[in-house]
């Protein structure tokens, strides 16, 4: 079934919007059309969390409550989901939700501008986990900034929610909402609005048919890069095809050789899946944007953007990952090594989309990754480094090292790798390997870091890697 009207659940009812503007943000709709002004606008670029709302999405017959940034979400992507705003947390009898009450009890608000966003981030955590650790509290609010209260009262409020009875109006209504979500979950969307086109196919076959007639079209996955064209550059995006509506592309599987990640899989799912194979991948993802960003952003979007500071990219390069591309007729598989051409340019051609990403499963290799940014949470890397090492009998058998933030593209440190490969890792070899980085990279100075800082950090991360490997006694005998 195809429709030009989107449907979503709001306040336990199906809401319909006829022919919406595909470039309108959800935040704008909430504040100006729904007239709910609890949700605030701070930065309009996903960085402050004031606009955080929660979406309920059906997954395996359950509702998955996701905090997202409504300022960088396009309205039509609301199709088939439940919209929950800060105003909706108050019960019919006027009593506050336990999350709101905890913020009152622990004085978690002063001017109040950030408060609705914090409430919604904590609400999403509260609905997801029956128990949560202190680290999960901090993680859940990593995408929310507060200028006046300070974070301790908010953290204390969140801690007080541990072991609280989780029954609230949302759990009481869950069955009804699931039934409503099932009713509206089965259609593809095609919208023509004042010269703008928006497609949200449900199947790959539909996607290909759309591509046949619309070669010059922008793929929208999480929208955490693309939407900024509208919210920051103030430009229109005239043709959009929404990839995250395609369920067939939302998967992670492994076949004993590699992990395959479908293009629409949000990073938050990769973050938990990959931990048992490559714990450092998860460690980096936990510092990738915020939960609001990772709830929607994808690896495919990160690869297609090809930013020199895209965090997944050095990790994937060092793990020798492949990217699977499709067009109308063919599937092409590239090693990521061969995929990036120049600054933000890739081998991706018009009419081609990223179908999936393949990461080899670990064998005898040790993988480590490091991110250095000005701020620990929700910040873009100054330098990101990834090391993938295989140890032979007496020496390093092979090593793949890749850096972000050191060149116009995410790039391997080939000269440095050559020094380390087939070597016994002595202090002298480490010195030579660090020196080789000067041959590999000529970093630039920009607002995030100076050229010399970047080079110094890259060298230090290489040394840190060697020291940590030694401490784990993986290559200790070779020092
Ligand atoms: C507040 C904030 C914090 C951020 N923090 C980080 C960070 O810490 N580290 C980091 O690396 N990045 C960060 N980013 C950037 C961004 O989140 C990532 O690049 C993200 O992975 C993009 O994925 P997406 O699914 O949102 O892509 P989108 O924005 O939907 O798309 C990005 C580009 O990829 C193309 N594209 C998307 N899917 C496909 C596909 N299947 N096939 C072909 N082309 C496709 C789009 O057309 C577009 O050109 C941040 C962004 C924001 C707003
Ligand atoms: S307004 Fe700042 S994250 Fe949306
Ligand atoms: S209470 Fe004022 S910004 Fe947080």
**2 confidence band (pLDDT: 50, 70, 90):** confident
pLDDT digits (tens, 9 = 90+) for 248-301: 999 999 999 999 999 999 999 999 999 999 999 999 999 999 999 999 999 999
Tell me what the mean pLDDT of segment 52-67 comes to: 96
Task: Please give the backbone phi and psi of residue 236, each rounded to the nearest 5 degrees, phi first.
Answer: -90, 150
- The confidence score (pLDDT) of residue 186 equals 84
Instruction: Sheet containing 252-254: give its strands across.
Output: 252-254, 258-262, 353-360, 322-326, 331-335
- The confidence score (pLDDT) of residue 366 equals 93
Nearest CA to ligand 2 atom 3: 46
- The confidence score (pLDDT) of residue 42 equals 97
Nearest CA to ligand 1 atom 36: 301
From ligand 3's centre to the CA of 266, what distance in Å? 29
- Is the confidence at residue 167, as pLDDT, over 90? no
Nearest CA to ligand 1 atom 38: 301
d(CA 374, CA 394): 39
pLDDT digits (tens, 9 = 90+) for 410-451: 999 999 999 999 998 899 999 999 999 999 999 989 988 999
pLDDT digits (tens, 9 = 90+) for 324-365: 999 999 999 999 999 999 999 999 999 999 999 999 999 989
From ligand 1's centre to the CA of 164, what distance in Å? 36
Q: State which ligand 3 atom lies nearest to the alpha carbon of 110.
A: 1
By CB atoms closer than 10 A (0-12, 13-18, 19+), residue 95 is exposed
Q: Measuring CA to CA, which residue among 124, 321, 299, 118 is closest to residue 225?
A: 299
- The confidence score (pLDDT) of residue 425 equals 87
d(CA 52, CA 270): 22
d(CA 114, CA 72): 17
Q: State which ligand 2 atom lies nearest to the alpha carbon of 43.
A: 2
pLDDT digits (tens, 9 = 90+) for 108-158: 999 999 999 999 999 999 998 767 889 999 999 999 999 999 999 999 999
Give per-residue burial for 179-188: e unless 16+ CB within 10 Å, then b: ebbeebeebb
Gyration radius (Cα) of the chain, Å: 23
Nearest CA to ligand 3 atom 2: 111
pLDDT over 90, % of the chain = 89
Q: State which ligand 3 atom lies nearest to the alpha carbon of 118.
A: 4
d(CA 431, CA 466): 11
Q: State which ligand 1 atom lies nearest to the alpha carbon of 219.
A: 47
Would residue 460 be called left, alpha or beta, if left means φ above 0 and alpha means ψ between -120 and 50 degrees? alpha
pLDDT digits (tens, 9 = 90+) for 86-106: 999 999 999 999 999 999 999
- Is the confidence at residue 474, as pLDDT, over 70? no
**478 confidence band (pLDDT: 50, 70, 90):** very low
Global pTM reads 0.96
Pocket of ligand 3 (CB under 6 A): 109-115, 146-149
Query: What mean pLDDT, rounded, does the chain reach?
Result: 94
From ligand 1's centre to the CA of 224, what distance in Å? 5
pLDDT over 70, % of the chain = 98
Pocket of ligand 2 (CB under 6 A): 41-44, 46-51, 69, 71
Tell me what the mean pLDDT of segment 54-74 comes to: 96
Q: State which ligand 1 atom lies nearest to the alpha carbon of 287.
A: 8
How large is the greatest C-alpha to C-alpha distance in the chain, in angstroms? 72
- The confidence score (pLDDT) of residue 424 equals 87
């Amino acid at each position: 079934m195809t429709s030009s009207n989107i449907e979503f659940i709001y306040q336990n009812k199906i809401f319909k919007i006829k022919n919406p503007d595909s470039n309108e943000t959800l935040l704008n709709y909430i504040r100006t059309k729904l007239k709910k002004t609890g949700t605030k606008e701070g930065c309009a670029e996903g960085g402050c969390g004031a606009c955080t709302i929660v979406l309920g999405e059906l997954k395996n017959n359950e509702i998955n409550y996701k905090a997202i940034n409504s300022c960088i979400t396009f309205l039509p992507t609301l199709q088939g989901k439940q919209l929950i705003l800060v105003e909706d947390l108050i019960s019919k009898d006027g009593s506050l939700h336990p999350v709101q009450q905890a913020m009152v009890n622990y004085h978690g608000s002063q001017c109040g501008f950030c408060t609705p966003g914090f409430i919604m981030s904590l609400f999403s955590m509260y609905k997801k986990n029956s128990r949560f650790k202190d680290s999960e509290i901090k993680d859940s609010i990593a995408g929310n900034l507060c200028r006046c209260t300070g974070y301790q009262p908010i953290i204390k409020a969140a801690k007080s929610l541990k072991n609280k009875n989780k029954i609230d109006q949302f759990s009481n209504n869950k069955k009804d909402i699931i039934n409503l979500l099932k009713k509206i979950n089965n259609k593809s969307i095609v919208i023509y609005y004042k010269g703008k086109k928006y497609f949200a196919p449900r199947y790959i076959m539909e996607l290909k048919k759309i591509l046949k007639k619309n070669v010059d079209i922008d793929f929208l996955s999480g929208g955490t890069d693309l939407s900024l064209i509208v919210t920051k550059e103030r430009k229109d995006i005239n043709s959009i095809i929404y990839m995250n509506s395609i369920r067939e592309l939302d998967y992670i599987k492994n076949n004993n050789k590699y992990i395959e990640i479908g293009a629409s899989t949000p990073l938050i799912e990769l973050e938990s899946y990959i931990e048992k194979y490559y714990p450092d991948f998860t460690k980096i993802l936990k510092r990738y944007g915020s939960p609001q960003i990772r709830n929607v952003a994808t690896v495919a979007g990160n690869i297609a953007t090809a930013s020199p500071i895209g965090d997944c990219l050095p990790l994937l390069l060092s793990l020798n990952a492949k990217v699977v591309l499709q067009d109308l007729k063919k599937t092409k598989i590239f090693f990521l090594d061969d995929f990036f051409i120049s600054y933000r340019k890739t081998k991706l051609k018009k009419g081609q989309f990223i179908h999936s990403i393949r990461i080899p499963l670990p064998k005898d290799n040790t993988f480590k990754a490091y991110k250095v940014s000005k701020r620990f949470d929700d910040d873009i890397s100054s330098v990101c480094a990834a090391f993938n090492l295989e140890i032979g009998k007496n020496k390093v058998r092979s090593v793949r090292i890749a850096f972000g933030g050191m060149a116009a593209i995410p790039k391997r440190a080939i000269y440095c790798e050559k020094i380390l490969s087939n070597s016994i890792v002595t202090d002298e070899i480490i010195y030579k390997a660090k020196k080789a980085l000067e041959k590999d990279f000529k970093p630039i100075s920009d607002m995030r870091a100076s050229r010399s800082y970047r080079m110094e950090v890259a060298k230090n991360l290489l040394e840190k890697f060697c020291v940590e490997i030694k401490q784990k006694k993986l290559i200790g005998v070779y020092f």
